[in-house]
Amino acid sequence: DAGVTQSPTHLIKTRGQQVTLRCSPKSGHDTVSWYQQALGQGPQFIFQYYEEEERQRGNFPDRFSGHQFPNYSSELNVNALLLGDSALYLCASSLHHGGIRETQYFGPGTRLLVL
Amino acid sequence: QKEVEQDPGPLSVPEGAIVSLNCTYSNSAFQYFMWYRQYSRKGPELLMYTYSSGNKEDGRFTAQVDKSSKYISLFIRDSQPSDSATYLCAMIIPAQETSGSRLTFGEGTQLTVNP
């Protein structure tokens, strides 16, 4: 059973560029959440997708956008990159119950460096 | 003020020691509490998941929740060098009907267990 996969593993971009990160959820999961983890910090919630719609959003600017496909995979797009966007971007998948036990399983992350 | 506070450490202990990791939180709406372990350059993996106040044991790990004090702990008995990782506490406000749950993390505590 494949877990959560993310691509690419590492990425280097320059300020002002745009980046797209990809995530495939764990088999059977239908909900994808994205988190940003700066060095030495805990992950910060960016947004969550379910049924191809953004369901919740954290305190991140509109430069951060996403998409979910019919096969439940997801993309995170960041426009006009800033140095402060350098971080580990984590994708987590879960099964949407609308209830209690929505355990989220994390992928290995994409490490983005903005120069 | 952060919603979840966690001492970042670093914490260094000898093999076999009992380790105590702690988090405090300010939002009474948090109802579910988790501990994740994150090895270097990896995504977080779920260790323990608790709901009610009290203790939950799983092998060498014990999770403790005190909702009245808004305080949670993770104890590791007979610590091993393989326990060396960053430990993240995380909390959830139960999912609403049209949105999924999102994790709010602490900063993480870096633990090193020395042989």
Whole-number pLDDT of residue B101: 75
What are the distances in angstroms from CA B33 to CA A4, A38, A76, B28, B54? Answer: 22, 22, 27, 12, 12
pLDDT confidence bin for B73, thresholds 50/70/90: very high
Min distance B102 CA to chain A CA atoms (Å)? 7
Domain ranges of chain B: 4-114
Structure confidence by residue, pLDDT tens digits, A52-70: 999 889 999 999 999 999 9
Query: A interface mutation test: which of B101, B104, B110 has the most A CBs within 10 A?
Result: B101
What are the distances in angstroms from CA A6 to CA A71, A85, A108, B4? Answer: 15, 18, 7, 27
Range of the domain at A109: 5-114
With beta carbons less than 8 A apart as the criterion, state whether A44 and A90 touch. no
Structure tokens at B34: 């988790």
Q: Which residues pair with A34 in a beta bridge?
A: A47, A91
User: Which residue in the set B43, B92, B107 is minimally distant from A109, CB to CB?
Assistant: B43
Whole-number pLDDT of residue B92: 86
CB contact under 8 A, B107 and A42: yes
> How far is A73 from A31, CA to CA, in rounded Å?
9
Lowest mean pLDDT among A84-98, B54-68, B73-87: A84-98
DSSP state letter for A25 = P
**Model confidence at A7: pLDDT above 70:** yes
Assess B79–A contact: CB distance below 8 Å, yes or no: no
Share of chain B above pLDDT 70, in %: 94
CB contact under 8 A, B46 and A103: yes
Is the model more confident about A13 or about B8?
A13
Min distance A112 CA to chain B CA atoms (Å)? 12
CATH classification of the domain holding A47: 2.60.40.10
Number of neighbouring beta carbons within 10 Å of residue B41: 11
Reported in sequence order, the residue ranges of chain B that DSSP labels E, i.e. its strands, are 4-6, 11-14, 19-25, 32-38, 45-50, 54-58, 61-66, 71-76, 85-92, 103-105, 109-114
With beta carbons less than 8 A apart as the criterion, state whether B108 and B86 touch. yes
Lowest mean pLDDT among A100-109, B66-75, B100-109: A100-109
Find all residues with CB under 8 Å of A73, minimum gap 6, and list them.
A22, A23, A24, A25, A32
| CATH of B4-114 given 3.40.50.720, 3.40.190.10, 1.10.10.60, 2.60.40.10 | 2.60.40.10
**Model confidence at A98: pLDDT above 60:** no
Number of neighbouring beta carbons within 10 Å of residue A93: 26
CB contact under 8 A, A103 and B45: no
Structure tokens at A45: 């919630």
CB contact under 8 A, A40 and B105: no
Structure confidence by residue, pLDDT tens digits, B10-44: 999 999 999 999 999 999 888 889 999 999 888 99
**Model confidence at B114: pLDDT above 80:** yes
Determine the residue type at A30: D
Cis peptide bond upstream of A8, omega within 30: yes
Which residues in chain A are closer than 8 Å to B42, comparing Cβ atoms? 108-109
Q: Which residues pair with A110 in a beta bridge?
A: A89
Q: Is the dihedral of CA A74, A86, B100, B49 positive or negative?
A: positive
